[in-house]
Each structure stands twice: as C-alpha cells, then as structure tokens.
Amino acid sequence: MTTRYEDIETTLRERGFRMTPQRLAIVRIIAEDVRHPTVDQVFETVHETFPTTSRATVYKTFELLKDIGELLEFEFSEGGNRYDAKRVGPHAHVLCDGCGRMEDLEIDAADGSLVAQANANSSFHVTRQRVEFYGLCAKCQVQESAAAG
C-alpha cells in the first residue's frame, strides 16, 4: 500500500510536472501533516531544509495541487486558509475555537448524502459541501477549566 505522499508524487510525475527537491518537500509536508496547515506553516517548515525556497514556490505548488485535485483549500476569514492533502474527498472537520486546531472527523454525513439531500430539498444543483463543527479541543478545555477554577 502506498502512502499519500507517494500517490501525489506519482500523479505529478505521470502528468509531467517538474519534481524539484523543494516541490517534493512541500508535497511531503502537506501529505503527512494532520494539522491542515496554512501556507505560512508549510513555508516555515520547508524553509528549515531549503532556506532559498520562496513563499511563491509554496503558493505555486499549492495552486498546482489544487488544480489537479490533490489538495483541498478551506477558506477562513480569520487565521488564513488551511489545506488538506491527506484526504481530498468529502469529509467533515472539527475546529477548536480556542487554539484553531483542525482535525478530520469521521461521520456518515461526510459521505455525500448531504449533497443529495440539499439537491432534493432546494432549487440548487449542489456540487460540493463543507461540513464543520466548532468547539474546544481537550487541551483548551483543560486550560478553560483551570482559568475558571
């Protein structure tokens, strides 16, 4: 069984895209990062190994991966956009109101049935969904309890 990184790398090679060490490092970071990182987080991580890498390289790699369907982008008004290359199919997320942590959430509503329900119950032709739940992660719950007590 191949890793998500290997799947993305294979897709890029098969489609004839240049495979620079910087691009491969960016792909590895986002394919293995469960945090749903921002561009800045990926830039900071790749910059440690490849100090000449520019933010533009990270942005261009993200755009390429989005264009070929290997990266999901989640737009947020606060804290910047977040990205997910681990799972690019429909799935739900849970986000912490305290620290901003974002995790994948395994629930049946992420299987596409919500799109079918939305199509059946509206005049829209729904083509995609975004399911998010908000609350406090375990760490922030402990901090909140400590501050209140």
The structure tokens listed for 3 are 């890793």
How far is Cα 103 from Cα 94, in angstroms, rounded to an integer? 5
Burial 99-114 (b: 16+ CB within 10 A, else e): ebbbeeeeeeebeeeb
Q: Tokens 């390429």 belong to which residue? A: 64
Mean pLDDT of the chain: 91
Q: What is the pLDDT of residue 102?
A: 92
Run of H or E including 110: none
How far is Cα 68 from Cα 82, in angstroms, rounded to an integer? 18
Asked whether residue 18 carries a pLDDT value surpassing 80, the answer given is: yes
The structure tokens listed for 50 are 């490849």
Q: What angle do CA 8, 9, 12 make, to 5 degrees?
A: 85
Under DSSP, is residue 34 helix (H, G, I), strand (E, B) or coil? coil
High-pLDDT (> 90) share of the chain, %: 66
Domains, the chain, in order of start with CATH, read: 4-84 (1.10.10.10), 92-148 (3.30.1490.190)
CB 131 within 8 A of CB 118: no
Q: What is the pLDDT of residue 31?
A: 95
pTM of the model: 0.82
Asked whether residue 2 carries a pLDDT value surpassing 80, the answer given is: yes
pLDDT digits (tens, 9 = 90+) for 77-133: 777 899 999 888 878 899 999 998 999 888 776 566 778 888 899 999 988 788 889
Q: What is the pLDDT of residue 112?
A: 67
Weakest-pLDDT range from 8-12, 21-25, 103-107, 141-145: 103-107
CA distances from 53 to 2, 27, 77, 83, 133 (A): 27, 14, 27, 19, 35
Q: What is the DSSP string of 50-88?
A: -TT--HHHHHHHHHHHHHTTS-EEE--SSS--EEE-S--
